[in-house]
Structure 1
């Protein structure tokens, strides 16, 4: 399953781990995904994976 937000499309980003000796190795920054139930227009519910930052924005705008 893709690590991608169903609403915003936010996905993994890439960067570097940097040690004290300034050695760089690749790493991935994964989005903070949460599974939530969403009520559809026809009355049924569906589970989608949404980033926590998207949930905060949706609560703020509701």
Structure 2
């Protein structure tokens, strides 16, 4: 499963760990994804959605 939000498509970001000795190694910042049951086309569907989409109300949770 890809680390991507099913709504907005937000994915991981990449960069470097930089040590005190200025050594650089690759790292990634993953998206905070949560499994959610959402209302889609009148039915419920399981999706992995980022927390920013949940907070802004882009998704309607199934009660």
Name the TM-score class by shorter chain.
Answer: 0.7 to 0.9
Q: How many residues align?
A: 58
Q: Give ranges in structure 1 of 5+ residues lacking alignment.
A: none
RMSD: 1.4
Q: CA deviation at 1:40?
A: 2.6
**Structure 2 unaligned residues grouped into runs of 5+:** 59-63
More helix by share: 1
TM-score (normalised: structure 1): 0.83
Q: Runs in 1 of length 4+ with deviation above 6 angstroms?
A: none
Scaled by the length of structure 2, the TM-score of the pair is 0.82
Within 1, Cα distance between the matches of 2:49 and 2:40?
16
